[in-house]
Structure 1
Amino acid sequence: MGRRTSLGALVVLLAVAGWALSSWLPEEAPATRRTPPVAPSAPSPGPVDVSEARGDLAALATVARRPDGLAVYVRSSFGGGWADSDGNGCNQRDDVLLRDAVEVRTRPQGSCDHDVLAGTWVDPYTGGRLVFTDLKEPGQAQAIQIDHVVPLSEAWRSGASGWSSDRRRAFADDLGNLLAVDGPTNMSKSDDDPAGWRPRKGFQCAYAARWIETKTRWSLAADDSERRALGEMLGFC
């Protein structure tokens, strides 16, 4: 009987101690959202209409690969840094990271409701899986980059050199020309066109279609080697 009484007293004592401990522990911080209520809009990748893409490719104006007398390209001609072109409170980097993520963790930050903190992506250029736990850490932030499918310098030499500053800034922030990709792969692509650089074979059809759609929408031209390479890539559709 004495042992039972002692055991019961011990249970009561532990329960009281647990209640006392919980009464002064800080509350758990609210969890960051994993899926924000509204994702940024952008053209969906959908099936490629090859005949339409080939027709648009043929309709592009032709430009020399290195046009004579063209002013030297300067990145600042397209504005500085990412803007909030759609007015949703978030810049284009966060919009694209959210749009292209397989899984994402975000938080509200100022006027932006989806400041991207971490997540998982599939790099379209290599097919590799990209997992990041802290995109506020510079090394991780640099390892996933936002690529201009049609690079700014390529746009410059194929027509954008004659645009207004506002039109060039709008092109630089065009969601339809932006992809979240592996940082080192993006650096290897640099400002090459399809005659100089191609993604993995499984993505070449979609890549060529997006390149052609972007150039068509912005009335940009293509040179002969670029045109041939795009035609070859559409052969993988």
Structure 2
Amino acid sequence: MSRTSPRGATRPVRSRVGVVVAAVVLVVLLVLIARSAGGLGGALDVLLGDPQQDAQEAPAGSAVAALDRLPVKGKAPKTGYSREQFGQAWQDVDANGCDTRDDVLARDLTDVVYSRADPCQVSSGVLVDPYTPKQIRFQRGPRSAEVQIDHLVALSDAWQTGAQQWPADKREHFANDPLNLLAVDGPLNSAKGDGDAATWLPPNKDFRCQYVARQIAVKAKYGAWVTQAEHDAMAGVLSTCPHQALPRDDGGVGPQPAATSAPADAATTAPYASCSAAKAAGAAPLHSDDPGWNPRLDRDGDGVACA
């Protein structure tokens, strides 16, 4: 005959007591979290996560969202790299009659003075350097190197993250793309070398979000990839500014501004930025007394441009 152990009969009771105690502890925790999170819904969000909040962490058009889409790979060998692989330096790829270096200087400097002999050539100006930030007076001549044009994504880095496979004309446009170019402090640019975000960031921390956003925009535009270390460094910077927008694709630093209505005669009086724009508008050739005349497009000074 089997016997029922008195001790065995108490096990279900102890088990139920344990469940009750655990439930009480859970309720107490929920109450405490709810008080700090603004209600039971907030407490559940704390415990389980808020899907809507997670979805908002990388808004469309943000640098974070674009970074998430970049391929992550190791760097290819640097074998075969040379500056010449990216074409002749500072070409006039936008056909405005001025080389890329002078275009960037004219864009990034203030108080710009042009050479009398060459209306494209920037003779002097003032740079508020985004990397330091300090004011640097640019004067063409022996001290020109105090202001240099930085490729935000260095040509060597691009070569090792996809550019080896690009056709020559794509590499040439990459090297002259205003989106990837910035007038900066010369010695700092030299110190940066071909470093990516994992090895070099601007000393000016207030500019770092914009800096990596432009690097991401450039790599996304040309189909280059990032290394894991580079990705992590960029993500670390953007964690302080998750809504940082990608820059506009004309070399601007900030997001594309909202369109504004121009005066009725603005379209006819504003100087054409390039011969391509003048030709697209059917205004070429331009004469010195024509609406939209831009003396920078008159390379030979004969009063006729974009012929």
**TM bucket normalised to smaller:** 0.7 to 0.9
Give, in whole Å, the separation in 1 of the partners of 2:117 and 2:200. 37
Give a deviation string over 1:4-36, Cα, whole Å, max 9, x none: xxxxxxxxxxxxxxxxxxxxxxxxxxxxxxxxx
Q: Do the aligned partners of 1:201 and 1:236 also contact (CA within 8 Å) in 2?
A: no
The residue correspondences of 1:112-191 to structure 2 (distance < 5 A) are 113-132=119-138, 134-135=139-140, 137-138=141-142, 140-191=143-194
User: Aligned residue for 1:207?
Assistant: 211
TM-score w.r.t. the length of structure 2 is 0.57
SS in 1 for 2:148: strand
Specify which structure has the bigger relative contact order, considering alpha-carbon pairs within 8 angstroms and separated by 6 or more residues: 1
1:95 correspondence with 2:103: yes
Distance verdict in 2 for CA 1:63–1:108, change over 3 Å? farther
The residue correspondences of 1:48-67 to structure 2 (distance < 5 A) are 51=59, 52-64=62-74, 66-67=75-76
Q: Do the aligned partners of 1:121 and 1:130 also contact (CA within 8 Å) in 2?
A: yes
Aligned-residue Cα RMSD (Å) equals 1.7
Could you tell me how far 1:74 is from its partner in structure 2?
A: 1.3
Count how many residue pairs are aligned between Structure 1 and Structure 2.
Answer: 182
Q: Do the aligned partners of 1:104 and 1:118 also contact (CA within 8 Å) in 2?
A: yes
SS in 2 for 1:114: coil
5+ residue gaps in structure 1? 1-48
Larger radius of gyration: 2
Q: Do the aligned partners of 1:150 and 1:177 also contact (CA within 8 Å) in 2?
A: yes
| The one of 229, 234, 239 aligned to 1:235 | 239
| The one of 184, 188, 198 aligned to 1:195 | 198
SS in 1 for 2:104: helix
Percent same amino acid among aligned pairs? 41
User: Aligned residue for 1:27?
Assistant: none
Distance verdict in 2 for CA 1:131–1:72, change over 3 Å? same
Moved beyond 4 Å, runs of 4+:
none
Could you tell me how far 1:234 is from its partner in structure 2?
A: 1.2
User: Aligned residue for 1:83?
Assistant: 91
Give, in whole Å, the separation in 2 of the partners of 1:149 and 1:156. 14
User: Aligned residue for 1:223?
Assistant: 227
5+ residue gaps in structure 2? 1-56, 242-307
